[in-house]
Amino acid sequence: MKMDGWQYYNHAAIPSVAPHEGPNLEPILDGSIWKLDGKPLLARWTTNWDCGYETQWWYVIKDTPFDISALKSNYRYKINKGKRYFDVKRIDPNQYREEIYNVTAEAYKGYPSKYRPHIAHDRFVSSIDDWERYTVYAGFCKDTGVMSGYALLQCEDSHIALSVVRTIPEYERLQINAALVYGILAEYSGFLEKGYICDGSRNINHETAFQDYLEKYFGFRKAYCNLHIQYNSKIKPLIKLLYPMRRVLKKLDLFHLVHQANGVLKMEEIIRENSRK
């Protein structure tokens, strides 16, 4: 079943509205959320967007124009280095299918095995047919012309979701990430006068410092909010069983299924701690 305002993602039902918009909770209250296509195991949503005080859940956003002159000199140096080595431009992904696949495959090689995605060439290349909802930017090495990274943006009237940023690891020392982010911020500087760019919510499943990088180098900030979860009755008893064992399970995090369970238990811990305040 398709459901307005909700979408299936990674075994969960999550709102398909903008982060600052309150989701329709009626499907949660009447139980119809569990009939969503994909049969989610839990529903996750947030309230009290950008509340102005620290919580344990947040979105990382940029809601002011970027001013490189305000940065420390070593940050400016790295961004300018990226600009020297790479050209960033908007592309039609259908014209760069093999290049996009190559960037993705190389990027995935750097992921820990516990959450490294399996990528099948033909299926991935065919999936680009469904990228109409994205605006795609790519960075090309000026010396070789090789696509070294790309970013997928979902552009709405009120905000832009920075949905995916993938780069080839060997080009990171040349600051391909800086070149991509700078190019996007330069393109949408006018938009930032009225809206915001969002890199998503707090990341608890992937071992990445990218959101910290966006805050340090490009002036993104945390928009704090409150996290809520409703569990499908099929797994609610399992959560109660595993929660007291969460410290033991952290030691087994290298296993894929345990890693996924640990992510859910971390969110449960956040919610319980928040409820005690």
**Domains and their CATH numbers in the chain:** 6-60+225-275 (no CATH), 65-218 (3.40.630.30)
Coil, helix or strand at residue 127:
helix
Give bridge partners of residue 97 from the DSSP assignment: none
Contact 150/141 with Cβ under 8 angstroms? Answer: no
* Cα(35)–Cα(147) distance, integer angstroms: 41
Residue 277 pLDDT = 63
Residue 10 pLDDT = 86
Average of pLDDT values for 83-105? 98
How many CA atoms are closer than 13 Å to the CA of 88, on its beta-carbon side?
Answer: 27
Contact 153/163 with Cβ under 8 angstroms? Answer: yes
- Rg, Å, the chain Cα set: 20
Average of pLDDT values for 99-119? 89
pTM, two decimals, is 0.92
**CA angle (183 as vertex; 180, 186 as ends), nearest 5:** 150
- Which DSSP string corresponds to 89-130? EEE-GGG-HHHHHHHHHHHHHTS-TTTPPP--HHHHHHHGGG
**205 token code pair:** 């499943």
Residue 172 pLDDT = 96
Coil, helix or strand at residue 57:
strand
Residue 21 pLDDT = 94
What's the pLDDT band for 112 if we cut at 50, 70, 90?
confident
Q: What is the DSSP secondary structure assignment for residue 122, as one 8-state letter? A: H
Strands 6-9 and 12-15: antiparallel
pLDDT digits (tens, 9 = 90+) for 244-273: 999 999 999 888 889 889 999 999 999 998
**254 token code pair:** 């290298």
Average pLDDT, whole number, for the chain?
A: 94
**1 token code pair:** 């079943």
pLDDT digits (tens, 9 = 90+) for 191-249: 999 999 999 999 987 767 899 999 999 999 999 999 999 999 999 999 999 999 999 99
